[in-house]
Amino acid sequence: MAKAPKPTINDVARLSGVSKKTVSRVINKSPLLNQATREKVEAVIAQLDYVPNPQARALALRRNFLIGLIHDNPNAQMVLNVQEGILDTIRATEFALVVRPVDRHSPTLLDDIHRFIEQQRLYGVMLLPPLSENDELARLCRDLGCTVVRMGSARLDDEAHLVASNDQQAVSEAVAWLAELGHSRIGFVAGPDGFRSARERELGFIAGMGRAGLTIDPALLTRGDYRFESGQAAGDALLDGKTPPTAIFASNDEMAAGVLHAACARGLTVPQDLSIIGFDDTAIAAHIWPPLTTVRWPIRAMARTAALKLTRPETAAREPSFFPSDLVRRASAVERVPDQTASSDHPPLKS
Amino acid sequence: MAKAPKPTINDVARLSGVSKKTVSRVINKSPLLNQATREKVEAVIAQLDYVPNPQARALALRRNFLIGLIHDNPNAQMVLNVQEGILDTIRATEFALVVRPVDRHSPTLLDDIHRFIEQQRLYGVMLLPPLSENDELARLCRDLGCTVVRMGSARLDDEAHLVASNDQQAVSEAVAWLAELGHSRIGFVAGPDGFRSARERELGFIAGMGRAGLTIDPALLTRGDYRFESGQAAGDALLDGKTPPTAIFASNDEMAAGVLHAACARGLTVPQDLSIIGFDDTAIAAHIWPPLTTVRWPIRAMARTAALKLTRPETAAREPSFFPSDLVRRASAVERVPDQTASSDHPPLKS
DNA sequence: TCGGGTTTTGACACCGGTTTCCAGGCCAGT
DNA sequence: ACTGGCCTGGAAACCGGTGTCAAAACCCGA
């Protein structure tokens, strides 16, 4: 309303009878300053409600306090968790989070990001998968003077510029769990070619089957693109096979939901007729019927650490770079009911 | 790599043999400028890869180009759609989007937002529901010198500072659809008290029932808090009643998923035994079984317009402020199977 | 060739901070 | 009492742009 112009450092200096520089020292908590002077100035600052102008600061310091989140991620819940995690870290600081959803298939991707970083003079950027797997992009950002932290599912960079989950191990454990439940014919829905996370999860599946002493039937390996529809298709393919699996591991929750969908569509009951495990523990996992057993990775904690690495690397050095995931056991995976050998051409009725 | 300091306006001026001011005129496309001079300067700019420093500009202009998105989100997909919509509008401009997830129940909410806006000297902010319904908050932002645009489900503000869907009408149409399918005992799960959107949807339900000539049984009115679990509880309550409904309208998709969950848990088959309609058309709606009939509102288009109202109000004046929603008809709502009169104490078996 | 009006351009102050560098006050040592 | 070193605080320049205003350049007809 009042349109009162904001107080500046000059106002503070004048009112407290010292020079700008002294006020600046107070703001920046410089140690070489008389205690009495400091308190006097602080009183005036409080009285005036003075907040330093970030643009002026940025100009003088030749750096700013913006960190960018660049992503092209199909999973809204994950992106939002990341945003919240970053905010957890920077909320009380002078940093701000600038977001930039992009289209990773755009031919002008690199140019667009180049323009964006130059134009905003970003201080640092955080890259989410699958963009984080693009080395060329990371290099571009660094050449432009940004610190870069990448979030991924494997060692993509040195530890100071990386937070990662261990997807391989997590999948391997999920497979072990299925084996423990008595399943031996386990189907797998891989993620899309070219995604590092897809590759890691695949390797985890292979390792898990090996560790459990199970053999892999190539007919039970399928591939999707992380989307619901591709999960449906994969489910159809697996369930229409000669000897269908009794359990399916899908490389993410959306595809797992698709598999579930396919199973329901042909009259199967989950989990009695088919156990399903997903990956990511997105909102959807808990909200479908039956609720999905899935792998949860600590996105928010990872994002917190990533933000720390961007804004206070010296503190962050003590933080871990690798985060373990855990299996969330819900209703979609249960002990295998002993086979009656015959193919179940109609689903068992309950009661 | 090269750590080459970025070229400044002075470099451009020197190399092209004109004054800073002239370069500034070129950048800002000032019309009073000789064409030849302009071209000469532009050549140098291109050659140097010069990009004006936004912080310096912000300081000199006493305004910046940051717009804030403040939200306390119940729905990740929606927030992300909003972000993408805003980016659609500002991608090619000098504006950037700064996000700030908050906790609307925090006692320091107003202070936090105050600090945030002051500290970043935001140019404008966009408020998402349910925060957008908070008049005090909107006033605070305006007092701080920001333009504010609110996104909501009803007329919350004047048209220049608002984009809204018409939830009331949308719900009324959804109810009409159920009536058309032959349902007359229709249950309703309201959203939480104090949410404008919840109120609008409630009014829409009442209007829709009235228009269809149906009476409202108070026993079929329940309330949730927009979360999955509350939908489950509401579903339990409705289905355990003496004469349960044959259709249920839930005020958002998550609660609809909860209702579905409750129905499945007691052995009912959806949609044969119970039709369900949700609201929002979030990702979950399409990905549960059966896929949910729901109301889709054009979030992304609304966000685009909102961003336009923030950044170029003169252009935005021609854009609509109100956006119609439409009913997405999927498998969760079907024609009512004629009642065998008896109360179904056990669910019908199929086949 | 000159005067008057209209472009086109530049000098200079300024936005609100930080940095550099220096002056003065105070103290100890001689 | 004088010198020198250490602290504290201030003047002025600077960061990289924009606004003001006046000067320079150009146009035209007289």
Q: Which residues of A touch B1 (CB under 8 A)?
A: 142-143
CATH code that applies to domain B167-296: 3.40.50.2300
Of B76 and B200, the structure prediction assigns the larger pLDDT to B200
Distance of A32 CA from D4 C1′ (whole Å): 21
- The stretch B82-87 carries a mean pLDDT of 98
B213 vs chain A: nearest CA distance in angstroms? 34
Measure CA of the first residue to CA of the last residue in chain A; give whole Å: 69
Distance of A10 CA from D10 C1′ (whole Å): 13
- Integer-rounded Cα radius of gyration of chain B: 27
The answer to whether the C-beta of B25 is closer than 7 A to strand C is: yes
Contact of A233 with A224, CB cutoff 8 Å: yes
CB contact under 8 A, B289 and A264: yes
Nucleotides of D under 7 A from a protein CB: 7-20
Domain A66-166+299-324 -> CATH class: alpha beta
Assigned fold of B66-166+299-325? Rossmann fold (3.40.50)
Q: Which residues of B touch A349 (CB under 8 A)?
A: 349
A190 vs chain B: nearest CA distance in angstroms? 19
Mutation target vs A (from B27, B55, B125; most A CBs, 10 A cutoff)? B55
B268 vs chain A: nearest CA distance in angstroms? 12
- The stretch B290-308 carries a mean pLDDT of 95
How would you list the strands of the sheet with B322-323, edge to edge? A322-323, A162-165, A147-152, A124-127, A66-71, A96-101, B96-101, B66-71, B124-127, B147-152, B162-165, B322-323
Helix segments in B34-75, DSSP class H: 35-48, 54-61
Structure token digits, residue B241: 């009643």
Q: Is the dihedral of CA A310, A312, A317, A321 positive or negative?
A: negative
- pLDDT band for B204, please (50, 70, 90 cuts): very high
For chain B, give the number of residues. Answer: 351
Instruction: Give me the residue from A80, A261, A287 closest to B228, CB to CB.
Output: A287
Nucleotides of C under 7 A from a protein CB: 7-20
Distance CA A4, CA A18 (A): 23
CB contact under 8 A, B51 and A288: no
- Matching CATH topology for A66-166+299-324 and A167-296? yes
Task: Give the three-class secondary structure for A12.
Answer: helix
Size of interface A-B (CB pairs under 8 A): 130
Choice among B45-54, B260-269, B333-342 with the minimum mean pLDDT: B333-342
CB contact under 8 A, A258 and B287: yes
pLDDT of residue B287: 84
CB contact under 8 A, A79 and B77: no
Tens digits of residue pLDDT in B212-221: 999 999 999 9
DSSP string for residues in A37-48: HHHHHHHHHHHH
* Element containing residue B167 per DSSP (H, E): helix B167-180
Task: Provide the b/e sequence for A156-169 (b: ≥16 CB within 10 Å).
Answer: bbeeebbbbbbbbb
Per-residue pLDDT 10s for chain A (351 aa) are 445 678 999 999 888 888 888 899 888 887 777 788 888 888 999 999 999 999 999 999 999 999 999 999 878 888 999 999 999 999 999 999 999 999 999 999 999 999 999 999 999 999 999 899 999 999 999 999 999 999 999 899 999 999 999 999 999 999 999 999 999 999 999 999 988 999 999 999 999 999 999 999 999 999 999 988 999 999 999 999 999 999 999 999 999 999 999 998 888 999 999 999 999 998 889 888 889 999 999 999 999 999 999 999 989 989 999 999 999 999 999 999 775 544 444 444 443
Q: Which residues of B touch A109 (CB under 8 A)?
A: none
Q: Which residues of A touch B64 (CB under 8 A)?
A: 55
Q: Which of A174-188, B34-48, B285-299 has the highest mean pLDDT?
A: A174-188
pLDDT of residue B4: 66
Distance CA A67, CA A45 (A): 28
Contact of A296 with A329, CB cutoff 8 Å: no
pLDDT of residue B3: 55
Kindly state the DSSP code that residue A116 receives in the 8-state scheme: H
Would you give the distance in Å from CA B102 to the centre of its chain?
A: 16
The values of phi and psi at residue B52, to 5°, are -60, 145
- The type of residue at B323 is F
CB contact under 8 A, B79 and A80: yes
CB contact under 8 A, B228 and A286: yes
- The type of residue at A247 is A
- The stretch B122-131 carries a mean pLDDT of 94
Domain ranges of chain B: 66-166+299-325, 167-296
CA dihedral defined by A287, B287, A152, A199, rounded to 10 degrees?
120
pLDDT of residue B344: 44
CB contact under 8 A, B55 and A51: no
Contact of A50 with A11, CB cutoff 8 Å: yes
User: Nearest chain B Cα to A227, which residue?
Assistant: B287
CB contact under 8 A, B83 and A94: no
The values of phi and psi at residue A92, to 5°, are -90, 5
pLDDT of residue A3: 53
Q: Which residues sit opposite B151 in a β-bridge?
A: B163
The answer to whether the C-beta of B19 is closer than 7 A to strand C is: yes
Contact of B309 with B125, CB cutoff 8 Å: no
The answer to whether the C-beta of B63 is closer than 7 A to strand D is: no
A219 vs chain B: nearest CA distance in angstroms? 26
CB contact under 8 A, A283 and B76: yes
Distance CA B228, CA B234 (A): 10
The answer to whether the C-beta of A160 is closer than 7 A to strand D is: no
Kindly state the DSSP code that residue B49 receives in the 8-state scheme: T
A26 vs chain B: nearest CA distance in angstroms? 17
Residue in B127, B77, B10, B143 with CA at minimum distance from that of residue A284: B77
Is the pLDDT confidence value at B346 over 80?
A: no
Distance CA B215, CA B344 (A): 22
For chain A, give the number of residues. Answer: 351
Instruction: Give me the residue from B51, B56, B101 closest to A83, CB to CB.
Output: B101
